[in-house]
Amino acid sequence: MITVESLTRTYAGAAAVDDVSFTARPGRVTGFLGPNGAGKSTTLRVVVGLTAPTSGSATIDGVRFADLPNPGREVGVLLDASAQHAGRTGREILAIAAATMGLPGSRVAEMLELVSLTPAEARRRVRHYSLGMRQRLGIAAALLGDPRVLILDEPANGLDPAGIRWMRDLLTDFAGRGGTVLLSSHLLHEIEVIADDLVVIGGGRIVASGAKEELLAAAGTLARSAAPRELAHALELAGLPSTLASDGSVRTDADPAQVGAVALAAGIALTELRSAEGAGLEDMFLSLTAATQREGVAA
C-alpha cells in the first residue's frame, strides 16, 4: 500500500503540492489525474524519494522509499522513459539494473520478451529508440525486480494502440495478483477503463478521491438548454450551484427533478436533462478541476 499523508512541497514559497493525502491499495489500480502543473509528478517524485517533502510523508507499506533495503525488488518505478542512459543499449540498461538488484541475467531476456523488444532492438543504443520503445524498456526495468508495487507516470505515452492495450492488460493482471498500481495519465479513456480507484488533483490539492464507480455515480445532473447561462443563473437563485462547461452543458449536484422544476419556473426550455452518471470521466474531471484549468473549459 502506498500512503501519502499531508504531503506539501513548496518551490520558492509556492506550493506545488499542498496538504495532499491519499492511499493506493493492493489489488487495485489507482489512477492519478490532474491538469498540467497540478502536482502529479511532484507527488510521485516524493513517493519514490527523488524529491524531499517540505512537510508530510509518503510511505510504501509504512516505509519511506529511501529506507527500503532493495527498492527495485519492492517498487517498480517508471517516471521518465527518456531519463535512461542514451549511450547504452536496452539490454545493457536492464543487465546493469539486474546486477544491482542481485537478479540472475536470465531475467533480462524474460523482460525483453515480456515488453516485446526484439533481440536486435535490445542491441541498439537507447538514443536510437522511439518513444514507445523507450517506454517499453522503462516498463521492463520497472518489472525487472518482480516488485509488488508499481508507480508509473504516463506509462501509455508513445505506445501504439496495441501497446496501450498490452499495457492495460499487464497492469490489470498485476493488480489482479495482489499488486499495487499507482499511475498518472492524461488519457482519461485509459484511466476510465483501467482504474479501480481515482485520485484527482487540481492546483496542488486533492479535489476528489475514491472508488471510480462511486465517483462517477456521484457526478450529479447534466442539463442542456439553448440558454445555458440563464439556466445556471436560475439554478443559483434557487440555491443550486452549478458549473457551465464550454460545450454548453450545465452540471449540478441537485437531482434532475429539481433542475427541471427550476427550468420550468424560469421559463427556460431544456434540450437535455439526465443524471450525469455515465457522462464519463472526462466530464467529471473537467468539472472537478474547472477552477484550476488553464483553458477555463468550465467556468
d(CA 84, CA 249): 44
**Phi and psi dihedrals of 243, rounded to 5?**
-120, 150
Q: How far is the CB of 194 from ligand ATP (least distance, A)?
A: 18
**Of 29-37, 191-199, 234-242, 256-264, which segment contacts ligand ATP by CB under 6 A?**
29-37
Q: Does residue 36 bind ligand ATP (CB under 6 A)?
A: yes
Nearer to ligand ATP, 121 or 153 (CB): 153
Query: Which residue is associated with the grid cell 519492492?
Result: 74
Q: Identify whether the C-beta of residue 51 lies closer than 8 Å to the C-beta of residue 10.
A: no
37 contacts ligand ATP (rule: CB under 6 A): yes
Spell out, one character per residue from 45 to 84, where the chain touches ligand ATP: x when CB under 6 A holds, - when not. ----------------------------------------
Q: In sequence order, what are the beta bridge partners of 76? A: 150
Per CB under 6 A, the list member of 2, 4, 7, 16 interacting with ligand ATP is 16
Q: Is 41 a binder of ligand ATP (CB under 6 A)?
A: yes
Q: Which is nearer to ligand ATP, 52 or 162 (CB)?
A: 52
Residue 133 zone, left/alpha/beta (φ > 0; ψ -120 to 50; rest) = alpha
Question: Please, what is the minimum distance in Å from the beta carbon of residue 11 to ligand ATP?
Answer: 4
Q: Of the two residues 40 and 136, which places its CB atom closer to ligand ATP in the complex? A: 40
Return the HEC string of 148-165.
CEEEEECCCCCCCHHHHH
Q: How far is the CB of 62 from ligand ATP (least distance, A)?
A: 24
The one-letter amino acid code at 219 reads: A
Of residues 42 and 252, the one with the C-beta less far from ligand ATP = 42
Q: How many residues bind to ligand ATP according to rule CB under 6 A?
A: 10
Q: What whole-number distance in Å separates Cα of residue 277 and Cα of residue 238?
A: 23
How many whole angstroms from its chain centre is CA 153? 7
| List of residues 6+ apart from 38 with CB closer than 8 A | 201, 202, 203, 204, 289, 292
> How far does CA 12 lie from the centroid of its chain?
26
Output 121 or 154, the one with its CB closest to ligand ATP: 154
Contact 26, 178 (CB under 8 A): yes
Closest to ligand ATP by CB, 13 vs 161, is 13
Among 38, 60, 199, 232, binds ligand ATP (CB under 6 A): 38
What residues make contact with ligand ATP under the rule CB under 6 A? Answer: 11, 16, 34, 36-42
